[in-house]
A and B are shown apart, each in its own frame.
Chain A
Amino acid sequence: DAGVTQSPTHLIKTRGQQVTLRCSPKSGHDTVSWYQQALGQGPQFIFQYYEEEERQRGNFPDRFSGHQFPNYSSELNVNALLLGDSALYLCASRVGRVSSYEQYFGPGTRLTVT
Chain B
Amino acid sequence: GDSVTQMEGPVTLSEEAFLTINCTYTATGYPSLFWYVQYPGEGLQLLLKATKADDKGSNKGFEATYRKETTSFHLEKGSVQVSDSAVYFCALSDSSNQGGKLIFGQGTELSVKP
A-B interaction: yes
A→B interface (CB under 8 Å): 4, 31, 33, 35, 40-45, 48, 50, 55-56, 58, 90, 92, 94, 97-108
B42 touches A107 (CB 8 A): yes
Known A99-B31, A99-B93: A106·B101 in contact at CB below 8 Å: no
Cβ-defined contact, A97 with B100, below 8 A: yes
Q: Contact: B99 with A42, CB < 8 Å?
A: no
- Contact A99:B99 (CB < 8 A) given known A42-B89, A104-B46: yes
B13 beta carbon closer than 8 Å to chain A:
no
Question: Is B20 interfacial (CB-CB < 8 Å)?
Answer: no
In contact, B100 and A42 (Cβ under 8 angstroms): no
Q: Which residues of A contact B98 (CB under 8 A)?
A: 55-56, 97
A-binding residues in B (CB < 8 A): 4, 31-32, 34, 36, 42-46, 49, 51, 89, 91, 93-95, 97-107
Which of B101, B103, B105 has the most A CB atoms < 10 Å from its CB? B101
Chain A residue at smallest Cβ distance from B52: A100
Question: What residues of B have a CB within 8 angstroms of the CB of A103 in the complex?
Answer: 46, 93, 102
- Nearest-Cβ distance from residue B77 to partner chain A, whole angstroms: 20
Distance in angstroms between the alpha carbons of A45 and B101 in the assembled complex: 7
| Given contacts A42-B105, A43-B104, A50-B99, A106 and B32 within 8 Å (CB-CB) | no
Beta-carbon contact of A99 and B95 below 8 Å: yes
User: Nearest A residue to B36 by beta-carbon distance?
Assistant: A105
Across-interface contacts of A105 in B (CB, < 8 A): 36, 43-45
What are 16 contact pairs spanning A and B, CB under 8 A? A31-B99, A41-B107, A42-B106, A43-B44, A44-B104, A48-B99, A56-B98, A97-B99, A97-B100, A98-B100, A99-B99, A100-B32, A102-B49, A103-B93, A107-B43, A108-B42
Q: Is the CB of A99 within 8 A of B100?
A: yes
CB neighbours of B51 from chain A (8 A): 100
Report chain A residues within 8 Å CB of B34: 102
Q: A106 vs B95: C-alpha distance in the bound complex, in angstroms?
A: 23
